[in-house]
Amino acid sequence: MSQHLPSAALEEKKRSTPFSTPAREEAKPLLARRAAAGLGARLGLVGIYVFLVVMAIFALFPLYYVVQASFAGAQNLYTTDLHLFPAHFTFANYVTAFTQEPLLNWIGNTLLVCGLTALCGLVCSTSGAYALARFRFAGRELTLRALLTLQAFPGLLALTAYYLLLNALNLLNNLLGLVLIYSAGAVVFCCWNTKTYLDGLPIELEQAALLDGATPFQAFWHIVLPLATPALAVAALFTFMTGWNEFALANLVLNANANGSNLTFILGLYSLQSDFRTPWGIFAASSVIVSIPLMLIFFFAQRYFRSGLAQGGLAN
Amino acid sequence: MPMLRVKRRTIVAFLLPMLAMMAVINLWPILYTLYLSTTNYSEFTSDNYRFIGLENYRELLFSLDSDLFPVLWQTLLYVLVCVGSFLIVGMLTALVLNNPRVKGLPFWRVLLLLPWAAPSGITALIWKFLFQYDFGPFNQIGRLIFGPHFGIPWLLNPTLAFLSVVIVNVWLSYPFFTVVILGALQGIPGELREAARIDGAGPWQYFRHVTLPLVTPALVPATILSAITTFQMFNTVFLITQGGPVVSALKPGATEFVMIYMYNRILGATVANPHYGFIAAFAITLFVILAALTYLGSGLGTRSPQTSRFREAQA
């Protein structure tokens, strides 16, 4: 394999003239060769389109199925025959989902948890990252290493300890308990990403500001934060997204009340689906309602994600 | 590297929020789990539990009816099958999406990356319905073709349940690999293809000797990362199978991977007396394995000969 290095290939291309190579191909008449190649290429292209269509069906089918099911009446779903289009188009599932299930509460709770997680994680990770990037102190290297080691420990492993901890803090069955656990889980990644980003920013501006009499906090707030916006966006999104799908810890911390209005959406949807009295159409409608804002956030977030990560230099 | 000269107070003030949070919410639970793993703490002994040294670890590692190795084995198998499939599907889709002869590339790209944007917890619950025996559309399609008695017990048969959670995970994860590989493919200079063609390399040779070596540096970290996430996977699998189907009360379910196993032993509906101490020992053992894998992985990611070769090629 080592003989076929790309650089070697380039070298060879430089040495050989375009006229020296067709010599090998003289065995077949040129026209026949062209025709065969064209047919092969066309067959290849057909194969590629077949593959694309199969993959598109694979990618879209679950999403399509849930959307069409959300518009179908209940009798349409609980048959053993296949229905790929709703026979009776109806919004009844959406109406039921909004009026009889605490859907808005679930969305509200999830946004609250994720929003507070992002805020809390951002404050802790950014200030910490700034200290690690700009200040010299004993134990700096040790802190960086400790962060990396802690990150290898998945929070789920300490389920019992979390339960006792939240119990001691009186945060069981409280959304704030979840906020605490989620933001601690995201803080290491964010701190590292932001620190690497800050390492790439010039320090001279802050030095000048300090000479002019600014406090370190003013330098941090007025100079560093505006420059670090892409990295902060990544950190905020990352922390926001750690919690929105999480099931195990949420299930540990939150106990459903009588109508389940204190849950996050994933717990709520799970309870809807495992409860056999709830028609699947209502679950489908609820899923669609919950997914739309999340998918919008994702598409909006995506471009920030790329630039902030690339410049944050996670690859190093 | 130049640093700012500031008072010690300032340094402490900047570091304190993060360190306090890490100490209470990351470090303390780990240390407490470590401590628990050396006790016989369980629901029934919660008032008078005691230190029992490494007894839990002995039972976990050397006892014949220990679930550790079966659970680890099926988790590793899951990781291998999943990551292998991610690589194959991700590579194929990326190659196709990088092919300039395909019409409407942006359209296909959005379609194929859509599973990435959908919230994974919700899609797991959707897939669960798709696999449902009576009303799930997969069996409905089968009945349309093979007659009314057709039915695949997707989530009821151990092997098929394993396959089902593999399919769902591939659906969820291949877009990440597509994006990573596509990014690397677009970084390959066009002259290389021309040069290879002139040298008489066929498409396979080009793929094998030009594309693959150039894409590998981007693939190694992505593969390690996704192997570690798959190893720790809880959400998707739990939402679909809860670790089941359970064929015997003495054996873990066919999709009971490490995290699900732990969760079920603590919060499972059938567990009357959770052995917190024993599970803590399980958790610490897993942590050691994960830390070792992460360490090995980071070494691979940064020091692989492929990476340095890629850097040389770029320089």
Cross-chain CB nearest to A269 (options B120, B125, B139): B125
Domain finish residue from A15, A31, A50: A50
On chain B, the residues whose CB falls within 8 A of the CB of A56 are 108, 111-112
- A204 and A119 fall within a common domain: yes
Instruction: Give the per-residue pLDDT at A276.
Output: 62
CA distance linking residue B216 with residue B223, whole number of Å: 10
> Rounded mean pLDDT of A124-137?
92
- A45 and A155 fall within a common domain: no
Is residue A109 one of the residues assigned to a domain?
A: yes
- A171 and A276 fall within a common domain: yes
Count: domains in chain A: 2
Chain A contact present for B99, CB below 8 A: yes
Residues spanned by the domain of A196: 102-312
Closest C-alpha to A165, from A243, A253, A239 = A253
- A212 and A150 fall within a common domain: yes
Is residue A139 one of the residues assigned to a domain?
A: yes
Chain A contact present for B190, CB below 8 A: no
- Full 3-state SS string of chain A: CHHHCHHHHHHHHHHCCCCCHHHHHHHCCHHHHHHHHHHHHHHHHHHHHHHHHHHHHHHHHHHHHHHHHHCCCHHHHCCCCCCCCCCCCCCHHHHHHHHHCCHHHHHHHHHHHHHHHHHHHHHHHHHHHHHHHHECCCCHHHHHHHHHHHHCCCHHHHHHHHHHHHHHCCCCCCHHHHHHHHHHHHHHHHHHHHHHHHHCCCCHHHHHHHHCCCCHHHHHHHHHHHHCHHHHHHHHHHHHHHHHCCCHHHHHHCCCCCCCCCCCHHHHHHHHHHCCCCCHHHHHHHHHHHHHHHHHHHHHHHHHHHHHHHHHCCCC
Q: Which of A52, A237, A273 to mutate to test the interface with B (most CBs of B within 10 A)?
A: A52
Is residue A66 one of the residues assigned to a domain?
A: no
- A158 and A240 fall within a common domain: yes
Determine which of A31-35, A247-251, A292-296 has the lowest per-residue pLDDT on average. A31-35
Is residue A256 one of the residues assigned to a domain?
A: yes
CA distance linking residue B265 with residue A272, whole number of Å: 24
> Rounded mean pLDDT of A132-145?
88
pLDDT tens, position by position, A199-246? 888 888 899 999 999 999 999 999 999 988 888 888 888 888 888 888
- CATH number at A162 reads 1.10.3720.10
Closest C-alpha to A312, from A134, A189, A183, A146 = A189
Residue B74: count other Cβ atoms within 10 Å of its Cβ: 20
- A45 and A115 fall within a common domain: no
pLDDT tens, position by position, B189-233? 888 888 888 888 888 888 888 899 999 888 888 888 889 889 989
Q: Where along chain B do its domains lie? A: 54-314
CA distance linking residue B37 with residue B275, whole number of Å: 10
Whether pTM > 0.90 for this model: the answer is: no
- pLDDT tens per residue across all 315 residues of chain B: 678 888 889 999 999 999 999 888 888 999 999 999 998 888 888 778 888 888 889 988 988 888 889 999 999 999 999 999 999 999 999 999 998 888 888 899 888 988 888 888 889 999 998 998 888 888 888 888 888 888 888 888 999 999 999 999 999 999 999 988 998 898 888 888 888 888 888 888 888 888 999 998 888 888 888 898 899 899 899 999 988 788 777 788 889 999 999 999 888 877 778 888 999 999 999 988 888 877 777 666 554 444 444 444 443
Size of interface A-B (CB pairs under 8 A): 278
The HSE-up count of residue A164 (CA atoms within 13 Å, CB side) is 13
Cross-chain CB nearest to A56 (options B32, B111, B276): B111
Shortest Cα distance, chain B CAs vs residue A108, angstroms: 16
The Cα diameter of chain B in Å comes to 80
Answer yes or no: do B195 and A294 touch at CB < 8 A.
no
Handedness of CA B197, B202, B205, B207 (dihedral sign): positive
- A41 and A119 fall within a common domain: no
Chain B contact present for A147, CB below 8 A: yes
Answer yes or no: do A245 and B119 touch at CB < 8 A.
yes
- A121 and A204 fall within a common domain: yes
Cross-chain CB nearest to B130 (options A49, A65, A155): A65
Is residue A248 one of the residues assigned to a domain?
A: yes
- A267 and A172 fall within a common domain: yes
Mention the CATH class of domain B54-314: mainly alpha
Restricting to B residues 16-55, those with a Cβ less than 8 Å away from any Cβ of A are: 17-19, 21-22, 24-30, 32-33, 36
- A296 and A198 fall within a common domain: yes
Q: What is the ipTM of this complex?
A: 0.83
Closest C-alpha to B5, from A136, A21, A170, A9 = A136
Instruction: Give the per-residue pLDDT at A7.
Output: 45
Q: Which two tokens stand for residue A233?
A: 């966006």
Answer yes or no: do A158 and B283 touch at CB < 8 A.
yes
